[in-house]
Amino acid sequence: MKKILLIFIILAITLPMVFGQITYFTWNAKLQLNGAFEGEAIHLGTQEVNIKLDYETTEMIIRFPLSSLKSNIDTVNQVLKNKLSDVVFDGELSLDYINTESHPPESFTVDGWLILGNSKTKIEGKGEIHHINDAGEFACMLGMTVHLNLKELKVDHPWPGLENEFEAVITQAILKKNKK
């Protein structure tokens, strides 16, 4: 029984390497939400964004706790700190693969499902990948922008002065494919 378990563990570790699937994780990527509240700009941000990105298929999963968002408005912060749910985006970039070698900036579109509580909404955005020379273990920076409408996302909030339109901006470091 122990030998069978050991074989399963070895297969689970080595099969992704054998079949060439290269998936990287980023912790503490940056997310900024920009909108308006009572006619004034509101900015919400978090650095607790976890991103799983498959370099071969360009599929990505983005996840962060709703409670990690901090804004420039105290009453918004008070409500958000008690939110226990995660925000999840499950989507794919329009690129054929993630290039970690030297390259000019690459533009892409992104689409997928944004899951917030019991709500699941199809969203689209755009972005660019910029190569970084001599950046140690990092190869590129990925930036994405997605326009969100709170009404379409079925976001129930207690602030009558909060506008429905928001822009989400995500910044992620891309690790080199072959780290030494």
Q: What one-character-per-residue DSSP string does the chain give?
A: -HHHHHHHHHHHHHHHHHTT--EEEEEEEEEEEEEEETTEEEEEEEEEEEEEEETTT-EEEEEEEGGG-EES-HHHHHHHTT--PEEEEEEEESSSS---SS---EEEEEEEEEEETTEEEEEEEEEEEEEEEEETTEEEEEEEEEEEETTTTT---S-TTB-SEEEEEEEEEEEPSS--
User: Does residue 7 sit within a domain?
Assistant: no
The one-letter code for the residue type at 176 is: K
User: Does residue 142 sit within a domain?
Assistant: yes
User: Does residue 180 sit within a domain?
Assistant: no
pLDDT confidence of residue 73: 86
Cα separation, 6 vs 36, in Å, equals: 55
User: Does residue 8 sit within a domain?
Assistant: no
User: Does residue 116 sit within a domain?
Assistant: yes
pLDDT confidence of residue 6: 43
Question: Is the CB of residue 100 less than 8 Å from the CB of residue 176?
Answer: yes
pLDDT confidence of residue 140: 86
Per-residue pLDDT of the chain (180 residues; tens, 9 = 90+): 555 544 445 544 444 444 456 777 776 789 999 999 888 999 999 999 999 999 899 999 999 999 999 998 888 888 888 888 899 999 999 999 988 888 899 999 999 999 988 889 999 999 999 888 877 788 888 899 999 998 888 887 777 888 989 999 999 888 777 654
- The number of domains in the chain is 1
Domain of 78, in residue numbers: 21-175
pLDDT confidence of residue 62: 93
The set of residues, in sequence order, having a beta carbon less than 8 Å from that of 109 and lying 6+ positions away, is 93, 94, 124, 125, 126, 127
For the domain that residue 106 is a member of, what is the CATH number? 2.40.128.110
User: Does residue 1 sit within a domain?
Assistant: no
User: Does residue 56 sit within a domain?
Assistant: yes
User: Does residue 10 sit within a domain?
Assistant: no
Closest C-alpha to 83, from 62, 66, 64: 66
